Chain A
C-alpha cells in the first residue's frame, strides 16, 4: 500500500467511511429517514472524488484504466438508483444496517473494477458478497426471506471457494498474483515447465465456473429464481446488477486480459454456457406468474446475451472488420441494468409497506389506474425485449452483430453464426413474456388500484431509469465510445506491431494515456464506433448468413 494507492482509493474510502458512520449512527440514534440522505451524499462525494482523480497516477495493485473508470461510474450510478429505490425505511429495525450494507456493495464493485491483483480482487468480491448476505436477511422478516438468504449464502460461499481454487491454480502456474505478471508468464515468451500450461487451463475453467454463480449463468443459476422471489424488489434489483457487473469485470480481467493464448479453449466454453443460459432463462420465464421470479429468469437470459458478447470478445477481438464483443459487453450491461432497476423500482413504488406487489396479475389494468407507472414499466420491458428506439435494441444489435461478424473461414465463425441464430430466436421467445407484462397492463381489466405508496425515492429511481433507457436509445454514441475505451485499454491477444493497441504491463512500458478518458468529455483519441456503414454492411451480411444457417438447421 503506497500513497498513490491511497489516493486512488479515495472514492471507496468515502463510501466505506459513510457506511461505518451509518452503522454506528444507527446504534445511537433512532432516526429512520436520515440514512438514505447520508448515503446519497456519500455517493455524491465519491463521484466528486472520482471525477477529480488524476487518472494517470500509477497505483501498484490498483488499476485506473478505462474499464475501471467505466465500471466505477456504473457502480456509482447503480448505487444512487438503488439507494433511492430502497429509501423507504424498513418496517422493523435495521434500516441503517440496510443502507450501510448497500454502500459497502457499491464500494466493493468499485474496488473489483480497479483490482489488478488476484488477492485484492477476491477481497473486493467478498466486499460485495458479505453485505449482500446481510441485505437479504434484512429485507423482509418472513420465512421465505430467511430461506432465500440461506440459499444465497451457502451457494455464494461454495462459488467463492471454486473461484479461489481457480485463483490458486493461476498462481501455481505463473508464480504471481499480479495480473501483469500472470500475463507476462503466460504470453509465450516465458517457457513454462511442462504441465504448467494445464494449470492455467484448469484455472480458466474454475474461475469461470465460480463467476458463473455471480452472474447467474447456467448451470450455476439455480439460486436466482428462489432468491429473487423470496426477497424484496430492492434486493432483487441489487442482485441482478451489482454481483453481475462484478462477475463480468473479473471475467474481462482474467479470461480476456490475464491469460493470453487460452482463447481457443475459453471462447468455446463461454459460448456453450451463453447459449444454454439464454435458452434456459427465456424458456423458463414463459411459465412464471410471480413478477420477481419472472425477472430472475429474465436476468438469467440476459446474462446469456452478455456471455455471448464475451465469447465474441474472446474469439475475435482483433479480427479486422469484426464488431467488438467487449464493447458490446459493457454497453449491454449498462442498458440491462437500467431497464431492470427501473422495472423493480416501479414495482416497489406501486406497493406499500404492508403489501408488496408480487404477481404479474397485480399489474392488471395498470395503464388505466396508474398510467405513469405503466408507461415506465412498459419502457423498461420494451428495452429488455430489444425493441428498436430503446437502449436494449442497441445492446442486442451490438451482441448479435458481433457474433455474426466473426470470420467464417474458420470453424468459429459458423458456431457464432449458429449462436446468433439461437440468440435471435431467443429474443423472440423473450418478447413473449416481456410483452405479456405490457399486455396485462394495458389490455386487462383492472382488478384493484395499486396503492402506489412505495415512496418518492422508488418513483424517482424508476423515472430516472426510464429516462436513461430512452436517452441511451436515442443517443447511444457516448456509451459506445466509453465501451470502446474499455476495450482499447484491455491488453490484447497479440500486442505486437499489428495493432496500435496500448502496451500492457507496468514494468516494461509506462502507462499509455496521460489523459485517460473522461466519459462524456471530448475524447483525445480517435476511436472507431460502429457507424452507419458498418451497421448496414453487417445487417446485409447477417441476413444472408442467417438465411443459410436456417437452411442448414432446418435441413
Chain B
C-alpha cells in the first residue's frame, strides 16, 4: 500500500462524516417526521420570523438573549478544539515545562521561527529526557473552564433566560 496518502485520510474521513451526517439527518427527518405542513413551517427559517421584509424592521429583543447563550457554548466549543489537540501532543506539553517563558510565547515563537523570521540568537531548546506528566494540568484546565460555563448556564437558567416571555 502506498503510504503517501496516509496524511490525507483524516481529511477524507472528515469530509465523509460531514456529508454522511447532513444526508443522514435529512433522511431521518423525512422518514420519521409526521407530515403536517403549514404556511409557517414552509418558510426557509422556521423561527417565527418572516424572512422577506424591510431591513429596518424591529427585531424581538428576546432573540438577543438566545444569541448570547448560543455564543457562550459556541466559543466553548472553539476553545475545546485546540485544547484537545494540545492536550494529546507530547511536544506541546514538554515545551510547556522545559522552556521558562510561558506557553503562549513558545507556541508563537515556534510559528515564527518556522515561517519567515531569521532569529540570530534562537532560544536554545533543551532536549527533554523525560516526557513530562503535565497531562493532569491540561485536563484540569479544560474541566475548570467547562465547569465555569456550566455555572454560567445555571445562572442563565435561574435568571429565566430560557423562558420565552
Chain A residues packing against B (C-beta within 8 Å): 1-3, 6, 20, 23-24, 27-28, 58, 60-61, 116-117, 119-120, 171, 175-178, 180-181, 184-185, 189-191, 193, 506-507
Contacts and interface: CB of A to CB of B under 8 A. Distances in A.
Contact of B159 (A27, A117, A181): A27
Interface in B61-120: 96-97, 99-105, 108-109, 112-113, 117-120
Contacts of B97: 2
B158 A116 contact: no
Interface string B36-74: 000000000000000000000000000000000000000
Contacts of B155: 23-24, 27
A46 B121 CA distance: 40
B141 interface: yes
Contacts of A506: 100-101
B121 A189 contact: yes
B123 A507 contact: yes
B121 A190 contact: yes
A291 B145 CA distance: 43
For the complex of A and B, 3 pairs with smallest distance between CB atoms: A61-B102, A27-B158, A178-B105
B134 interface: yes
Contacts of B119: 175, 185, 190
Contact of B117 (A2, A175, A184): A175
Contacts of B23: none
Given A61-B105, A175-B108, A176-B101, 6 more contacts: A116-B101, A119-B105, A181-B123, A193-B117, A506-B100, A507-B101
23 contacts: A2-B96, A2-B97, A2-B137, A3-B137, A20-B151, A24-B151, A24-B158, A27-B154, A60-B101, A60-B102, A60-B103, A61-B104, A116-B101, A119-B104, A175-B109, A176-B108, A177-B105, A189-B121, A190-B119, A190-B121, A193-B117, A193-B118, A507-B100
Contact of B108 (A23, A24, A177, A190): A177
B148 interface: yes
Contacts of B137: 1-3, 6
A15 to B, nearest CB: 14
Contacts of A1: 96, 103, 137, 141
A176 B105 contact: yes
